[in-house]
Amino acid sequence: MMACRICSTEAEHKSYSVREMQFGSREEFIYFQCKHCLCLQLKDIPDTVEKYYPDHYPSFPVVPSDQKQFLKSRLRKYATRRVLDYRLAGKSYVGKLFEGAFGSRFIPYWLLHDGLNLSSESKLLDVGCGGGSTLNYLASIGFKYLSGIDPFIPNDVTYVNGIRILKAPLASVDDRFDFIMLHHSFEHMNEQLRTLKKLNSLLKPRQYVLIRIPLSSSFAWKHYGVNWAQIDAPRHLFIHSPESMSLLASKAGFNVTEIVYDSNAFQFWASEQYARDIPMQSDESYGVNPSRSIFSTAQIDSYEAKARDLNQRRLGDQACFFLRKSG
């Protein structure tokens, strides 16, 4: 009998043996999926996980490459800032004009969520931010008060634009924020309920925490099973279902106001590689050498199209949860 760490259900939950394939050690780890809340979770969490986060551990940027290319132009940075002013506060006529010319495609969808009530003066915290690519992007479009923490980076980082990222746990943070982001970091955290309660304590009233995570309710998990790349054994300790995430959020004093599915082709090409025993960091990996991989451009395009379809059907393998602080 095993007890689910999320809903406390004790049962003979189904177990799975999953290999470490990010770096290709192929060490096996046991996961189980709760029969009640469907959260997939690592059975035995290691006492020390640092060895699974070497200095060369990839911390993928959230900002797509086409956004970064667009923002190299000073004029375009200015335009994006004004569009953001217009979309967040409705106060920039110039921003309205620029939106007519450029649209808002260079602003992440999660930043334009209804109800966030943000401005360039808002205080933002990125938890598990890696090297800080998202924070630097936000600074480039006008946000002034940006902080980041990540316990697995080699050292503290301070950028010339004033952004400081601390090699520190969430428990060490003692401040109040208008918006807190966890872009694919929550699944790496052991004390899930304690973490959410801590986030609640750091958040100003009626404000939001954004949590982007992989989902066990996805087509990819059902199709690929233990070869699904987003299990990422043993770094991903918990892979939630919408039900388990909503249950946990409620216990911590949050309301889930919206779930946006944002999966992409990664769920297919990475899982196909694992099924063929090709690690993520292999020279043959599409993520390392696309031209040497087993995939054609047409295949990747088809995977992207399939991901968009799955997102519309709420079956994509990752999603963004908007959690609003109750009260």
Which pLDDT does position 113 carry in this prediction?
84
Mean of the pLDDT values across residues 259-287?
97
| The pLDDT of residue 101 | 54
Distance, CA of 224 to CA of 241 (rounded, Å): 17
Contacts of 215 (CB under 8 A, 6+ apart): 221, 239, 240, 241, 242, 316, 317, 318, 319
Does residue 157 carry a pLDDT above 70? yes
Average pLDDT for the chain:
89
- DSSP conformation letters of 282-310: STT-TTT-GGGSS--HHHHHHHHHHHHHH
pTM here is 0.89
Model confidence band, residue 95 (pLDDT cutoffs 50, 70, 90): low
pLDDT at position 142 is 81
CATH of domain 2-63+108-325: 3.40.50.150
pLDDT reported for residue 104: 57
Q: What is the pLDDT of residue 118?
A: 86
Residue 302: per-residue pLDDT: 98
Domain boundaries, the chain: 2-63+108-325, 64-107
More confidently predicted of 149 and 75: 149
Q: Could you identify the residue written with the tokens 């309301």?
A: 255
Instruction: Give the β-pairing of 238-239 and 177-183.
Output: unpaired
Instruction: State the pLDDT confidence band at 57, using cuts at 50, 70 and 90.
Output: confident
Average pLDDT (273-288) is 96
